[in-house]
């Protein structure tokens, strides 16, 4: 009888393993971690990647330098017409809310420092500009076009990713919850 | 010629019959068929009905033998081998489950600096940012991140088992392209038809017939100069076969520069070797050729099931053959006989 019991136990374990094996093919479980591809909107909740690139003065700068602030990251290029048309609103937002802890960070995608500096001078920009010649931020933020904007909270987490041109009201609505202490 | 257990085989001393040998052979063949999935996981044949049918036949044969052996049809050795047969059945069942239920092999290729969800793996693949040096070296390592599990790194040529899948990193041709205008100013590169819009790294997802060969091809744009550019990748052998003037036997890209309307710019076609600049249609292009990993995801038999099955199979073989020769195990029949005699005396 004990010998039969051992046999049944082995058969039962074998069946359980087979069931366990079959189950492993239906949903790997756990789910992926971090942000996923498919446009900037999918990045909400993911940590904002930061890369060292040049500033307009030729020094080194990155998004990381603004940790502790609410940051509106704006990816742009001087040849991009919608970027050009939304820039005055970005400058106005920065002027209004800078004192409340907001940083507008413009990151030029793929152009030379000279091109970015000429654009900043032409548009009379006072917010910080980074020059990302290798387009690292654009790739990391799943940009599907320009402009692309991201709202990053003081802990360095992406709250929203937005594809396309924004109005001043839309920018304000995107950053206001963080500036007023919400999430 | 039929198998004769008395013909001098070493198995004869263990009490093996033709049935024993046939069952063990079938079990071993089934196990080898299943283990082949771990050796060459990307082969599409594992997901065909023929493969599942072969394993199914092996399972029926092994299972049938095990049931009979439990009843004593194959003597003492057969009874002892039921553990090994159970192990073989577990392994074969894992192989059938992988073939029938596992996803077909899939290749995931993404631009550097992007993230790809891998639902079959329950992970997200982080493709690292790669500059010209990394593309040239072909040494970028992809990270797999899962919730509540350690991060896994996969270097080109490497593989990682994740649940019932194996994820392999294979090197694919890639080129980092730098574009400048006539004054030497850096230009934005966009890839409007690719998911990674702002990547200057070409991954050549298309295969285009050209110059008596099928070449990896990709396309990008320099919006500031209103140029659309096609790029065709010539490996060393492809450029040698095509006898490209000045580039034969060297890795090179063939560029074709169009305007915004898709019309070829006069003088807009030309080769650029690795690291060499070329001036085409008002754009200065300089490619760095090399490789970047893509992930190949294949279903494999669930590893814990394989380990348990292997332990049962090998342990069962030891119990069957070594234990039988030592003869140190209690025999069922005498024990029952003695008990019944004692019972009748009482």
Residue B329 lies in a domain: no
- Same domain as B95, residue B115: no
- Same domain as B225, residue B199: yes
User: What is the DSSP pairing of strand B283-299 with strand B165-180?
Assistant: antiparallel
Residue B44 lies in a domain: yes
Q: Domain containing B254: what range?
A: 108-297
ipTM: 0.79
Adjacent-strand bridge partners of B159: B168
Residue B305 lies in a domain: no
- Same domain as B209, residue B181: yes
Q: Which residue, among A76, A135, A147, would best test binding to B if mutated, counting the most B CBs under 10 Å from its CB?
A: A135
Average pLDDT of the residues of chain A: 87
| Location of structure tokens 């594992």 | B46
- Same domain as B52, residue B13: yes
The answer on pLDDT for B5 being more than 60 is no
pLDDT band at B260 (very low <50, low <70, confident <90, very high): confident
Residue B325 lies in a domain: no
Average pLDDT of the residues of chain B: 87
pLDDT of residue B340: 45
In chain A, the residue whose alpha carbon lies closest to the alpha carbon of B299 is A25
Residue B267 lies in a domain: yes
- A139 vs B contacts (CB less than 8 Å): 111-114, 129, 196, 198-199
Mean pLDDT of B300-319: 93
pLDDT tens, residue by residue, B314-324: 999 998 888 76
- Same domain as B290, residue B148: yes
- Same domain as B117, residue B81: no
pLDDT tens, residue by residue, B99-129: 998 889 999 999 888 888 898 888 999 999 8
Residue B321 lies in a domain: no
pTM for the full model?
0.78
- Same domain as B89, residue B236: no
pLDDT of residue B147: 81
**Dihedrals phi, psi of A28, to nearest 5 degrees:** -70, -15
Residue B3 lies in a domain: no
Burial class of B115 by CB neighbour count within 10 A (0 to 12, 13 to 18, 19+): buried
pLDDT tens, residue by residue, A30-53: 444 333 445 788 888 889 999 999
- Same domain as B121, residue B48: no
pLDDT of residue B103: 86
- A13 vs B contacts (CB less than 8 Å): 308
B49 inside 8 A of chain A by CB: no
B196 inside 8 A of chain A by CB: yes
Check CB contact under 8 Å for A25 and B223.
no
Q: Token pair for residue B268?
A: 């807009």
pLDDT of residue B17: 82
Which residue, among B304, B45, B310, has the nearest Cα to A22 in the 3D structure?
B304
Among residues B77, B102, B127, the one where a domain terminates is: B102
User: Which residue in the set A20, A25, A37 is minimally distant from B102, CB to CB?
Assistant: A25
Residue B336 lies in a domain: no
Number of structural domains (chain B) is 2
The answer on pLDDT for B13 being more than 80 is no
pLDDT band at A85 (very low <50, low <70, confident <90, very high): very high
Among residues B257, B275, B297, the one where a domain terminates is: B297
- A142 vs B contacts (CB less than 8 Å): 114-115, 196
Check CB contact under 8 Å for A109 and B198.
yes
The answer on pLDDT for B176 being more than 80 is yes
Q: Which residue, among A20, A40, A81, A110, would best test binding to B if mutated, counting the most B CBs under 10 Å from its CB?
A: A110
pLDDT greater at residue B173 or residue B17: B173
- Same domain as B46, residue B193: no
User: Which residue in the set A37, A49, A136 is minimally distant from B195, CB to CB?
Assistant: A37
- Same domain as B220, residue B146: yes
Which residue, among A169, A170, A174, A164, has the nearest Cα to A82 in the 3D structure?
A164
- Same domain as B132, residue B59: no
Distances (CA, A) of A9 to A15, B88, B91, B94, B302: 10, 16, 17, 19, 21
Mean pLDDT of B150-175: 95
pLDDT band at B248 (very low <50, low <70, confident <90, very high): confident
- Same domain as B265, residue B152: yes
H or E stretch covering B144: strand B142-146
Which B positions 165-194 lie with beta carbon below 8 A of chain A? Answer: 165, 185-189
User: Which residue in the set A34, A37, A111 is minimally distant from B187, CB to CB?
Assistant: A111
pLDDT tens, residue by residue, A109-153: 999 999 999 999 999 999 999 999 999 999 888 888 999 999 999
Check CB contact under 8 Å for A37 and B115.
yes
Q: Token pair for residue B218?
A: 């990709």
- A140 vs B contacts (CB less than 8 Å): 113-114, 129
């Amino acid at each position: 009888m004990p010998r039969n019991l051992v046999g049944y136990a082995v058969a039962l374990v074998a069946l359980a393993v087979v069931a366990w094996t079959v189950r492993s093919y239906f949903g790997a479980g756990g789910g992926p971690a971090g942000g996923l591809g498919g446009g900037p909107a999918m990045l909400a909740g993911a940590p904002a990647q930061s890369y060292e690139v040049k500033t307009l003065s030729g020094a080194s700068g990155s998004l990381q330098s603004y940790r502790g602030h609410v940051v509106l990251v704006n990816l742009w290029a001087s040849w991009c017409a919608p970027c050009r048309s939304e820039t005055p609103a970005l400058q106005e937002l920065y002027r209004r809310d800078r004192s409340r802890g907001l940083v507008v960070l413009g990151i030029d995608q793929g152009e030379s420092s000279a091109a970015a500096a000429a654009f900043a001078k032409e548009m009379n920009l006072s917010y910080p500009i980074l020059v990302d010649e290798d387009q690292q931020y654009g790739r990391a933020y799943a940009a599907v076009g320009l402009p692309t904007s991201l709202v990053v909270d003081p802990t360095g987490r992406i709250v929203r990713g937005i594809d396309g041109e924004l109005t001043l009201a839309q920018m304000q609505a995107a950053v206001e919850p963080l500036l007023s202490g919400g999430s | 010629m039929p198998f004769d257990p008395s013909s001098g085989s070493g198995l004869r001393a263990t009490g093996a019959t033709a049935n024993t040998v046939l069952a063990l052979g079938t079990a071993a063949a089934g196990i080898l068929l299943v283990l082949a999935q771990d050796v060459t996981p990307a082969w599409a044949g594992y997901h065909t009905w023929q493969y599942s049918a072969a394993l199914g036949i092996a399972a029926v044969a092994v299972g049938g033998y095990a049931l009979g052996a439990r009843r004593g049809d194959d003597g003492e050795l057969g009874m002892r081998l039921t553990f090994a047969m159970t192990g073989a059945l577990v392994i074969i069942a894992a192989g059938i489950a992988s073939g029938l239920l596992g996803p077909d092999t899939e290749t995931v290729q993404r631009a550097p600096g992007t993230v790809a969800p891998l639902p079959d793996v329950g992970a997200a693949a982080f493709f690292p940012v790669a500059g010209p040096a990394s593309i040239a070296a072909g040494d970028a390592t992809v990270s797999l991140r899962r919730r509540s599990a350690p991060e896994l790194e996969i270097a080109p040529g490497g593989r990682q088992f994740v649940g019932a899948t194996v994820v392999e990193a294979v090197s694919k041709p890639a080129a980092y392209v730098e574009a400048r205008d006539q004054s030497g100013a850096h230009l934005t590169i966009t890839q409007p038809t690719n998911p990674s819009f702002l990547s200057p790294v070409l991954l050549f997802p298309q295969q285009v017939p050209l110059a008596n060969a099928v070449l990896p091809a990709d396309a990008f744009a320099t919006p500031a100069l209103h140029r659309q550019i096609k790029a065709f990748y010539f490996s060393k052998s492809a450029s040698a076969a095509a006898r490209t003037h000045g580039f034969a036997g060297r890795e090179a890209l063939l560029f074709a520069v169009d305007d915004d309307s898709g019309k070829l710019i006069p003088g807009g076609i030309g080769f650029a070797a690795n690291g060499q600049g070329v001036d085409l249609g008002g754009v200065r292009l300089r490619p760095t050729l090399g490789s970047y990993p893509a992930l190949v995801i294949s279903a494999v038999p669930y590893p814990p099931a394989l380990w348990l099955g292997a332990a049962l199979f090998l342990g069962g073989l030891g119990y069957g053959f070594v234990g039988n020769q030592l003869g140190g195990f209690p025999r069922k029949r005498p024990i029952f006989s003695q008990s019944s005699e004692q019972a009748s005396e009482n």
